[in-house]
Structure 1
Amino acid sequence: MMVRWSIFCCNIFLLLSFLIRGLRFMCVFRFKLWWMTQRMGTCGQDIPYETQFLIVEVRNGSNLLGRSGGAHPTALYAVFLPILEDDFRAVLQGNERNELEICLESGDPTVDKSEGRRLVFVAAGADPFDLIGNAVKTVEGHLQTFSHRERKRIPDMLNWFGWCTWDAFYTDVTAEGVKRGLESFKNGGISPKFVIIDDGWQSVGMDATSVGNYADNTANFAIRLTHIKENHKFQKNGKEDHRVDDPALGLRHIVTEIKEQHDVKYVYVWHAITGHWGGVKPDVNEMANYESKMTYPIPSPGVESNEQCDILKSIATNGLGLVNPDKAFNFYSDLHSYLASAGIDGVKVDV
């Protein structure tokens, strides 16, 4: 669908002249801030907020395709792909009249107007699998802002069995714990070829005025990054509140050991896209070069309508330490360069 649109508010709803009633559909929607799931139904009112993909089984003669039906209507499929363009993103949702709506949102009260040409891409075809693949490729060609999966190189680590430390340790992970975990696998006759050291290895701290928020007694979403390098748990003979400057005694020592003694091919570590859940702490000397400033996110109404999220409330209340956009390249370059020097092969990033 190619239409011209102008927006003069940070959130707007547009009604599509599509009625979905008695037609099977499958959609994928954002039910949490960072998680997607699927839903199936037969009525437009069953299409939830924050739907980012929709495929509908239609027939000749339906109002979706506008074709005349024969004695034996043929099943066809229509796919809807909401588009991200300029400062606004589009998502789909149904209403109580079983109509399909587009919700456009900037996510920023200061961004209240924009103009573009693309809201939702719509295509139809007889084979749903070919239809979806071709639709994504068509949008790729128009926007030229992403690559279809067929054009992406698959990391070699996906060819191997691996282990992520999260469910074993949560944020209590330590270098010794990683070694014990690999020994346990070895004793069971299994040798993971890659390891992901999840949340718990970084140097972090809370503000004096922050209110801690622990999700299922695991991650604290009120803490912020205080240093590029690892915390004492991943320094050789490390002690709390004491930093080791020798790189060989930092993260590198555990990475080297598990690669050599357990034949691990790849070691990844976790970090949030903002550094940590609470961002980068503004008032610490070690992070001053990145000029972090406190911001207070405004939750998306669509996400909140699907599920109230205490974690999102915590981040909105305690704020997020965001690196100066002009310093973002330096921040990621410094972080990833240090990790590479320690033998880390990649990162798992939560958004």
Structure 2
Amino acid sequence: MPHVPAIQTSHVAAVAFNSFFQGEIAAVDWDMFQSDHVTADFHAAARALGGCAVYVSDKPGEHDFKILKKLVLPDGSILRARYAGRPTRDCLFNDPVTDGKSLLKIWNMNKFSGVLGVFNCQGAGSWNTKIDVGDFKRDTRQDLPLSALPPVSGHISPIDIESLGDAASETWTGHCAVYAFNSGALYTLPKKSNLKVSLDVLKYEIFTVCPIGNYGENLRFSPIGLLDMYNSGGAVESLKHTNDSSGCSITIQARGYGLFGAYSSTKPRTCLVDMTEAAFMYIPDDGLLAVTLPGECSLKEIQVLY
């Protein structure tokens, strides 16, 4: 029912809670959506965390490619998370659809990072879309003024991601780089710390949570992934490092193209992409290192030299 704004919120919550059970025994299906719909960004972000196939029900010629390009690579592949997206522990006995105060948090994993989505799914009024009155069925949410509802606040933490330690190296001490997709902010947090999040109805934020490795006395590093994709960390395929008398070399294999980001505690000497020196950006205030991956969607090798 794409013409009913409020049903969009309960749909995302329903598929996430269904995945909590079905994800143990089956490949989950989070359903289709329309890329040119007013809630398309909300739905696309959820699919990026779902660990599911992605498909749309667009009419021919009616597509929003700005949305689709954040979800699907030009070769048709997706940066699919490893598991079925599930609600975090602190969401399991809350009601993110009707209680007016709870956010929905969904976690998943990539090879070298976790991903945590936060969604404001309030405003549906009921998990059930219909009320029977005799033989008459009336949709109870047609006129719900979602834009008039206040924002909902909550907190996210690296420990919201159940299997985060699986993505960490043996040098991990518990600190994480946390990249916020919409705001572009990069934070460093101990794994038990938290960040406050406040969202309006039908708004979301996606956090890529990367365990930080220690690669030398003053060098801490973690790859984030493709910064313009919802599931940024899904682009990272491998991570290696070497230390010798000339310094430290960190080698990443990544899939796709576009702006690739990482957390680095210090500015590198140089960056190479497929053995060719590449220009890079480094922001010392938050440690964001970014380099552009050119060309096609093939696997690329990034070397960061210190």
What is the TM-score of this pair, normalised by structure 1? 0.25
Structure showing greater Rg: 1
Structure having the larger proportion of residues in helix? 1
What is the TM-score of this pair, normalised by structure 2? 0.27
